[in-house]
Structure formats: C-alpha cells, structure tokens
Amino acid sequence: MRIIIAEDAALLREGLAGLLTDRGHEVVGRCGEADTLLSLVAEHQPDVVVTDIRMPPGYSDEGARAAVHIRKNHPRIGILVLSQHVETQFAVELVTSSEGFGYLLKDRVLDVDQFLDALDRVAAGGSVLDPTVVSTLLRRATMANPLAVLSDRERSVLELMAEGRSNAAIAGQLWLGERTVESHIGSIFSKLGLPGSAQDHRRVRAVVTYLNAMRAGERLT
C-alpha cells in the first residue's frame, strides 16, 4: 500500500511512518502542513492519505479542508483522518460523499492492530468511524429526532453499522445471534422508511439518515 502521512507533530508523523514501513507498506510522502500534502498527493497518487485535521498555519481545519479537496479531485484515494477532538462538520461531509473514508481519534493509534485494520478497510473502499465520533453524531442527530422511532438496541446496531461492522461483528459486539442482528437491521430499515431497491444500498442510506439528522441538529444550536 502506498501512503502519504500529513501530521505536524514530527514524533507522531515519524512514528507512523516507521510503523507502516515495518508492516510492509510504502510511505511515499510525509509532511506537516496542508499545502504540501496537496502537492504530494498530486505527485504520488497514493492509495491512502493519513492526515491530521488541525495543521499549520492556523491549526484550525487545514487538514480537513485538504481532505475534502482530495476527495473531490482524487476520489479513488482513501482518506484516514486523525484528530485530537471530534470535528463533526467535516466528518459528515466526507463520510456522506463516497466510500474509502475513516475518522479516528488519535488515542486509537496507540492500538496498533486497530489502526492498521482501519487503514486496510479504508484502502479497500470501506468506511471507518471512531466509536466516540459515532456517539457524538448520534447524540446530535437526536436533536432533530428522526431516529426517535428506533429502540435503544436498534440505535446500538446502527452505531456499529456506521463503524463499518459486518452483521457477524455486530452480533459479537452486542452478544446477539446473527439472525437477531438481521432482524434489528430490518426493523431499522422499515422504521427509517428505507424499502429494498436495486438502486440504493440501504445500509449506507441508514447511516446517511442519521448523519443528515446531525446536520439539522447543528443548525438548531
């Protein structure tokens, strides 16, 4: 896998580069600010970009805006965003735009296997959301209340769906049978008004429903 790392903290940047190189990946570029990131992406066309959200010069949303630019101009490149805090605006914009996106809090990097698994899933076109991010989005979505029709168990299933988990993984996490999980997912689809269709992926649409609800909730605050 060919990877670019954008992180202004040199120790973390070099640590990630060393870890990925040791695991057989090729780090084709590394930098500490957003403009350089865009130049490296244009030059190397990596498989995945790992980027911080807040980088120089303003330490606000430079990395997130760079990620949006990359997603728009290089849609096949996977993006794994790392952040110290939950930044919901860009999480919603990126995760609803297409596949191949992940958002992890930096604490998760300490769990090497979890980090590498997230990287592999993003590179394969999947989506990965940190459980804390998902919980934040769900709480804000509740303000607009389109998910009020769901039971607590259905909300838990939906949260794990948003993390990109399979039915088997959801069953293991919640100590349920796979058929029970399938039943809950069917109920979620029904309650959210998502009928079966050859054109639409209901699993994705269910996740997008609560992310859009979070957007509406933010407008109320």
pLDDT tens by residue, 5-35: 999 999 999 999 999 999 999 999 999 999 9
**Mean predicted lDDT score pLDDT of the chain:** 84
Closest Cα to residue 162, out of 218, 220, 221, 91?
91
pLDDT tens readout for residues 189-214: 988 888 776 545 788 888 887 676 65
Query: Does residue 129 contact residue 86 with C-beta atoms inside 8 Å?
Result: no
Closest Cα to residue 49, out of 24, 23, 75?
75
Question: What is the percent of the chain where pLDDT is above 90?
Answer: 45
- Crossing angle of helices 88-95/62-73, nearest 10°? 10
d(CA 210, CA 207): 6
DSSP assigned state of 39: H
Over residues 148-174, the mean pLDDT reads 87
Task: Please give the single-letter amino acid code of residue 158.
Answer: L
Over residues 177-199, the mean pLDDT reads 84
d(CA 214, CA 209): 9
Report which secondary-structure segment, H or E, holds 67.
Answer: helix 62-73
Over residues 66-92, the mean pLDDT reads 83
DSSP assigned state of 199: S
Q: Per-residue pLDDT for 220 more than 50?
A: no
How distant, in Å, are the alpha carbons of 92, 100, 199 from that of 120?
21, 10, 27
Count the Cβ atoms, other than its own, within 10 Å of residue 154.
Answer: 18
Task: Please give the single-letter amino acid code of residue 171.
Answer: A
Residue that is written with structure tokens 């100590």 in the block: 175
pTM equals 0.63
Domains (range + CATH), the chain: 2-128 (3.40.50.2300), 134-220 (3.40.50.2300)
DSSP assigned state of 50: E
Q: Would you give the end-to-end CA distance of the chain in angstroms? A: 42
| Six token digits for residue 212 | 């859009």
Q: Per-residue pLDDT for 109 more than 90?
A: no
